[in-house]
Structure 1
Amino acid sequence: MLNLSRFGTDRSGSVAVLFSVVLLPAVMLVGAATDYARVAASKVKLQATVDAAVLAAGLDISGASDAVLQTKAEAAVAAAFPAGSPVRVASVALQTVNNNIVVTVNAETTTNFGRIFGVTRVSTTTTAAVPKQTGRKMDVDFLLDASASMGLAATATGRDQLRAAVGCAFACHDPEGGQRISNLQVAQNLGILTRLDVLKNAVGTMIGRIAATQGPRDLYRVAIDTFDDTPQRAVPLTTDLASAQRFIQNYRLGGNTSFSGAMPVFNGDVGSQGDGFATPRKFAIIVTDGVQGRRDRVGGFHPFDDRLCDTLKGQGVTVMVLNTKYIPMPTEAAYQQTVAPIQNRLEPALMACATTGYYFAATDQAEIDLAFNRIFDAIQARLRLVR
């Protein structure tokens, strides 16, 4: 006969009984904690992915529709959570709301222990939004030296070839003394590379790079001013960058150099700095050898006056200067009398004209190409830094 009183006081097997009673809740707690950590980690990754997708969409300036941007967002999310991932993406939605890009992703994270109790997935909704970027507007205004000195040979070899052909390599750019053609034309006929040729190639290439990053919204404009004795707005601000390139290819030189006449006009043409959104960011690129001179006046040669750049910089414009440096010509009397006495003052003056960090110098084609590439890269960096 079962003795109930003895059963109630019997202590044997109590640990096993207690363990069996506690085991199931403990397993449930461990499993729940594991699944919770899994879901939390998935949600953090999902949020980071959605943030990246919405930033990419918000910064897109190609003019793409929301449908195209959504396809890109879907691809970004799918790449982060491929097939077999514990996270299954149920939907990706992208829309523009009050000029904000909003991306919402619904996803489910699989469970390990929860399925024992019939919970196989945990749903998560993640949303991120950024202001829609319409792109930064940019105006690039070139001021190109069109004086006769830009017709000098661009290399020491070319200088020597020109001297051998006509007996002169400096201050003989124009027809003189009964000559029927200028020495610039002689150089071109002989295939000698001149500073004009180098300038055309470099500026044309840079405008091409601007065009390549233009996109369909025509955010970038280019203008070209030239100067010799007088300034000229050769190409007004335009989004037709091909027309600017055509002008460069047909670019012709004039006579003397007058910075004092050119800079006040250029200041007005460029205008004041903008924010890049309502009004364009402004970049002024001055290409010159830095010598102001008149050959018909005694003592008519002197360095560029950097104070002429104060107005532009005061207007907030980023001023970039490319110094097309003179190749030394110690055997040329005219060079020794005009440029040589002031040559060591040219670079400091042009450097002072430029916004700090935006002075460049070059002599030959390779250096000038490199300088214009650096100028273009600096402009792009400046655009990204300014909001």
Structure 2
Amino acid sequence: MMAAILLVPLIGAGGIAIDFANAVMTKSELQAAADAAALAAVADSSAGLAEAQAMLGDGTVPLSEADALKFFDINSGGASYSILEAKAAVVKEGSTIKSAVTFKASVETTLSKVLGKDHMIVSGSATAEYQTQAYRDFYLLLDNTPSMGVGATPSDVKKMVANTPDNCAFACHIVKNGVEDKNSYYNLAKRLGVTVRINVVAKATASLMDTAIESRRNPSQFRMAIYTFGQKAEDTKLLEVSPLTADLAKAREKAASIDLMSIPYQGYDNDQQTDLDRALTQMGAAMGPPGTGTTAASPEKIVFFVSDGVGDSYKPKTCTKKTTNGRCQEPIDTKYCKLLKDKGYKIAVLYTTYLPLPTNSWYNTWIKPFQDEIGSRMRECATDGLFFEVSPTEGIGDAMNALFKRIIRAPRLTS
């Protein structure tokens, strides 16, 4: 008899634990639906956003509210719970459109029913916002080091390999004492009609200025600065190609002049010209404090980083891969990206895929062992949602423009 009496609270206690875990899981599921609904209400392609942008003043946005509830309803169907209440509120306040989705649900219990508890209540909320006229400063950090002299496509690589005595896929740009070496592979590539990666990046950067001009709502909404890793290997440093300016037409002219870093001779300085750590550190110092983006005086600051993702510098003690005489060849060290993101900067990464070079002994010895890590490290460097990889069959220009549009059009969760 005592065992039977004790069995009821024991079952009830176990049931509460099980039912509580189910309620937590249900709340997590509904929270995800609410997050998605809040974002959908202010999505770039939504009818509600178009309605809000057409409004002459501030106020509620009925179409967005209806879309949010519909989206929540589609993503919140569950057999073990019922929605008691779901509300959406979307308002336009100046240049910002804010959405909020709240919910309350009843989760059916199982074993807890022996204690008279038939259900548990869970609730939550999500908010998102979209700035119709956010002010942003873009700092383009373009990798122009010798590795960006590789052929832009597999066919370009193949042509260089077939026409060089050492089967080299890189168009090394040799300039000694200010005199161009007419027999360098850089000039050979031009004679062969081979396009190298940096040429495509320069053209794409110039095209990006046109996209920014077409996308801005007033002349001061977007400003851009352009930096490379230096003009020549004898003086590698963060080099300002174009200062921060709202005159994007002038920035476009400067972008078109970007060229491959020169070297005085093959093997100069043990080929240690790609110091990604230093470039990101110096970039942070050049940008100044980040803003909110709500006014021209407080712009968001975004590093727009274009690179093949492989560092090559002198790091005898802190390199993550094996070294040779202190030369460190490794995927990007993401702690330098994290330092910038922790300070409030955003990092948009365009990873120009490092093409395998199976006929190149240097590649097979030093790069191939970590080839699979390069892309994932570059993704980790980027702010969430701001990563784009360009495969050899895609256009760098299209990818750069797509990434830019993703930055300026993406709504964001605020809670």
* TM-score class, shorter: 0.5 to 0.7
Aligned to 1:225: 227
1:213-292 alignment, distance < 5 Å: 213-227=215-229, 229-254=236-261, 256-278=273-295, 279-292=298-311
Contact 1:152 1:184 (C-alpha < 8 Å) held by counterparts: no
3-state DSSP of counterpart to 2:56: helix
Cα pair distance change 1:236/1:314, threshold 3 Å: same
**Counterpart check, 1:155 vs 2:189:** no
TM-score, normalization by structure 1:
0.61
Contact 1:162 1:187 (C-alpha < 8 Å) held by counterparts: yes
Q: Give, as a single letter, the amino acid of the residue that structure 2 aligns with 1:261.
A: R
3-state DSSP of counterpart to 1:369: helix
1:40-70 deviations in whole A, cap 9, x for unaligned?
Answer: xxxxxxxxxxxx69953349xxxxxxxxxxx
Aligned to 1:337: 365
State the 1:344 CA deviation. 1.9
Aligned to 1:91: none
1:1-387 alignment, distance < 5 Å: 56-58=55-57, 135-167=133-165, 168-170=167-169, 173-175=172-174, 180-227=182-229, 229-254=236-261, 256-278=273-295, 279-294=298-313, 299-364=327-392, 366-382=394-410
Give the Cα–Cα distance (whole angstroms) in 1 for the partners of residues 200 and 259 of structure 2: 13
RMSD of equivalent CA atoms:
3.1
After superposing on structure 2, the runs of 4+ consecutive aligned residues of structure 1 that deviate more than 6 Å are 383-386
Q: Give, as a single letter, the amino acid of the residue that structure 2 aligns with 1:193.
A: T
Contact 1:306 1:349 (C-alpha < 8 Å) held by counterparts: yes
Contact 1:154 1:365 (C-alpha < 8 Å) held by counterparts: no
Give the Cα–Cα distance (whole angstroms) in 2 for the partners of residues 370 and 196 of structure 1: 15
Contact 2:309 2:354 (C-alpha < 8 Å) held by counterparts: no
**Gapped regions of structure 1 (runs ≥ 5):** 1-51, 60-98, 102-132
Q: Give, as a single letter, the amino acid of the residue that structure 1 aligns with 2:257.
A: N
Give the Cα–Cα distance (whole angstroms) in 2 for the partners of residues 54 and 216 of structure 1: 15
Give the Cα–Cα distance (whole angstroms) in 1 for the partners of residues 390 and 206 of structure 2: 17
Give the Cα–Cα distance (whole angstroms) in 2 for the partners of residues 344 and 276 of structure 1: 36
State the 1:321 CA deviation. 0.8
Contact 2:154 2:392 (C-alpha < 8 Å) held by counterparts: no
Cα pair distance change 1:277/1:342, threshold 3 Å: same
Contact 2:151 2:157 (C-alpha < 8 Å) held by counterparts: yes
1:51-94 deviations in whole A, cap 9, x for unaligned?
Answer: x69953349xxxxxxxxxxxxxxxxxxxxxxxxxxxxxxxxxxx
1:310-337 deviations in whole A, cap 9, x for unaligned?
Answer: 1221122221111111221111112212
Contact 1:153 1:169 (C-alpha < 8 Å) held by counterparts: no
1:4-33 deviations in whole A, cap 9, x for unaligned?
Answer: xxxxxxxxxxxxxxxxxxxxxxxxxxxxxx
Contact 1:287 1:322 (C-alpha < 8 Å) held by counterparts: yes
Q: Give, as a single letter, the amino acid of the residue that structure 1 aligns with 2:291.
A: G
State the 1:385 CA deviation. 7.7
State the 1:367 CA deviation. 4.1
Report the count of equivalent residues.
Answer: 265
3-state DSSP of counterpart to 2:239: strand
Compare CA radii of gyration and give the structure with the larger one: 1
Q: Give, as a single letter, the amino acid of the residue that structure 2 aligns with 1:371.
A: A
Contact 2:149 2:170 (C-alpha < 8 Å) held by counterparts: no
1:145-175 deviations in whole A, cap 9, x for unaligned?
Answer: 0101111101111111112222333456144
Contact 1:136 1:383 (C-alpha < 8 Å) held by counterparts: no
Cα pair distance change 1:183/1:164, threshold 3 Å: same
Cα pair distance change 1:322/1:54, threshold 3 Å: closer
3-state DSSP of counterpart to 2:302: strand
Contact 2:133 2:217 (C-alpha < 8 Å) held by counterparts: no
Cα pair distance change 1:276/1:172, threshold 3 Å: closer
Give the Cα–Cα distance (whole angstroms) in 1 for the partners of residues 185 and 411 of structure 2: 42
Q: Give, as a single letter, the amino acid of the residue that structure 1 aligns with 2:138.
A: V
**Gapped regions of structure 2 (runs ≥ 5):** 1-50, 59-92, 96-130, 231-235, 264-272, 315-323
State the 1:210 CA deviation. 0.2
3-state DSSP of counterpart to 1:257: coil
TM-score, normalization by structure 2:
0.57
